[in-house]
């Protein structure tokens, strides 16, 4: 049976997951996801399977090390994790199927879940898909938690049913879903559509998870606004100096 850890997801736009650990039960997380833990839980950092395991996770966009939180007390204890940007957390039962997901999506999981490197099926998908040649593959007999930005939309595709997804908005999908990258048609759409040159073409059967606010898009807007703000400040200072010179005359 799967390791059905007891958990609760808190919040709305910036979520956290609180996991309740039985005695001798453990959970793994990427470094930096830890929020707080109760007495009795011990923390240990390792490669989670040797140097090659660490290197594979690094290529897949994760940290080289994993941190394990082990309840060494005699009662149930809690530990909490959260992402490093305003996000939603998606619980996944990997006893049903492995999950393919984008780089940096992994947050935490039951002890024993593997976070490994997965090559895309086609050269074009790997070269043009915005995620490089690699995706993350989460596998094992238990729960895992991934995180993404904004609202999460879960699409259940029937056999042969297809959707086209912005490559940055694609969070995760089941391995039964065929994943390919295709070029947007039309010169005007490519040059002026503002959506990039490629999209992910997903064909069922299987589930696909889509995010409304990719971190890269969010960060780009913040950087653009910050740059614009600096420009307004500089322009204000320049006009003030010019006004002073005119007034002085």
* CA 83/CA 214 separation, integer angstroms: 13
Asked if residue 108 lies in contact with residue 28, where contact means CB atoms within 8 angstroms, the answer is yes
pLDDT at 86: 86
Taking only the tens place, the pLDDT of each residue in 23-36 is 999 999 988 899 99
pLDDT at 146 over 90: yes
Tell me what the mean pLDDT of segment 73-101 comes to.
94
Side-chain-side CA neighbours of 24 within 13 Å: the count stands at 0
CA distance linking residue 17 with residue 25, whole number of Å: 16
Torsion angle of the four alpha carbons 94, 215, 28, 99, in this order, in degrees rounded to the nearest 10 = 20
Kindly tell me if the per-residue pLDDT of 112 is higher than 60: yes
Under 8 Å between Cβ of 121 and 195: no
Which residue shows structure tokens 């660490």? 54
> Residue 235 has what pLDDT?
42
- Better-predicted residue by pLDDT, 183 or 23: 23
Q: Is the pLDDT of residue 75 over 80?
A: yes
Name the residue with higher pLDDT: 46 or 196: 46
Q: Provide mean pLDDT across the span 220-242.
A: 55
Residue 58 pLDDT level (bands cut at 50, 70, 90) = low
| 23 phi, psi to nearest 5 deg | -55, 135
Q: Which residues does 19 contact at the CB level (< 8 Å), separation at least 6? A: 5, 6, 7, 27, 78, 79, 80, 81, 108
Residue 218: the pLDDT is: 63
Q: Specify whether the CB–CB gap between 102 and 60 falls below 8 A.
A: no
Q: What percent of the chain has pLDDT over 70?
A: 67
**SS3 state at 237:** helix
**d(Cα 236, Cα 232) in Å, to the nearest integer?**
6
6-239 folds as Double-stranded beta-helix (3.60.160)
Give me the residue spans of the domains in the chain.
Answer: 6-239
> What is the average per-residue pLDDT within 234-245?
42
């Amino acid at each position: 049976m799967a390791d059905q850890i007891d958990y609760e997801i808190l919040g709305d736009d910036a979520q956290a997951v609180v996991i309740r650990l039985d005695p001798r039960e453990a959970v793994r997380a990427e470094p930096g996801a830890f929020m707080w833990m109760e007495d009795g839980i011990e923390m240990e950092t390792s490669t989670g399977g040797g140097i090659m395991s660490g290197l594979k996770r690094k290529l897949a966009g994760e940290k080289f090390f994993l941190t394990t939180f082990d309840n060494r007390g005699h009662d149930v204890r809690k530990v909490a994790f959260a992402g490093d940007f305003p996000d939603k957390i998606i619980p996944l039962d990997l006893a049903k199927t492995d999950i393919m997901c984008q780089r940096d999506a992994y947050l935490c999981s039951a002890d024993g879940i593997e976070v490994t490197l997965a090559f895309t099926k086609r050269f074009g998908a790997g070269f043009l898909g915005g995620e490089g040649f690699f995706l993350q593959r989460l596998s094992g007999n238990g729960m895992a938690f991934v995180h993404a930005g904004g609202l999460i939309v879960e699409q259940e595709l029937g056999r042969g049913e297809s959707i086209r997804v912005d490559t940055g908005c694609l969070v995760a999908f089941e391995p039964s879903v065929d994943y390919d990258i295709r070029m947007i048609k039309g010169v005007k759409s490519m040059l002026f559509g503002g959506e990039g040159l490629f999209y992910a073409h997903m064909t069922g059967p299987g589930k696909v998870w889509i995010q409304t606010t990719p971190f890269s898009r969010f960060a780009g807007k913040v950087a653009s606004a910050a740059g614009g703000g600096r420009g307004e400040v500089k322009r204000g200072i320049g006009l003030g100096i010019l006004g002073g010179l005119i007034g002085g005359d």
